């Protein structure tokens, strides 16, 4: 089984390119796994694992399937920059490749979209992104 750290690192490396980072508030520093720090400079690109299923074969692990959410988040009245970040990420990850230490990528593709708005006090955050299915052995 490939470590989640290795997959997270591979995703970070794939996303840490100018097509994505030039749209972010602090470049690659705004490419965040999990939860953004309070001091984040928006817009950001946030990614995290949503689920993980191991497929077994004759008592061993044949491969793992994971779902990852990758989204643009802006603190603004319009979601257009978050949508631009989603498009840049989609161009990279949808049927893309990853170099994962200790594993072999078998499949990577977008499965669905995500879009929502949240408020915190007088701040409005707009999220636009996609869920990607990753299969690795």
Give residue 56's pLDDT: 62
Q: What is the pLDDT of residue 61?
A: 65
Give the pLDDT of residue 65: 92
Q: Which pLDDT score is estimated for 19?
A: 94
Neighbours of 122 (CB within 10 A): 5
Give average pLDDT by consecutive 10-residue segment, the chain, 137 residues. Answer: 89 96 94 89 96 73 86 96 97 96 94 96 95 94
Q: Given this structure, which CATH class describes domain 4-136?
A: alpha beta
pLDDT at residue 51, as a whole number = 87
pLDDT at position 127, please?
A: 97
H or E, element range at 106:
strand 105-120
- The domain segmentation of the chain, as residue ranges, is 4-136
Q: And the tokens for 11?
A: 């995703």
């Amino acid at each position: 089984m490939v470590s989640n750290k290795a997959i997270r690192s591979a995703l970070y490396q794939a996303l840490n390119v100018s097509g994505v980072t030039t749209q972010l508030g602090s470049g690659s520093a705004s490419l965040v796994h999990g939860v953004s720090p309070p001091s984040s400079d928006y817009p950001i690109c946030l990614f995290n694992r949503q689920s993980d299923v191991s497929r077994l074969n004759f008592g061993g692990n044949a491969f793992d399937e994971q779902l990852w959410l990758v989204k643009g988040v802006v603190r603004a009245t319009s979601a257009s920059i978050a949508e631009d970040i989603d498009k840049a990420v989609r161009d990279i990850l949808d049927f893309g490749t990853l170099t994962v230490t200790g594993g072999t990528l078998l499949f990577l593709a977008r499965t669905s979209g995500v879009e929502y708005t949240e408020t915190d006090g007088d701040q409005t955050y707009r999220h636009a992104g996609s869920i990607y299915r990753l299969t690795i052995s």
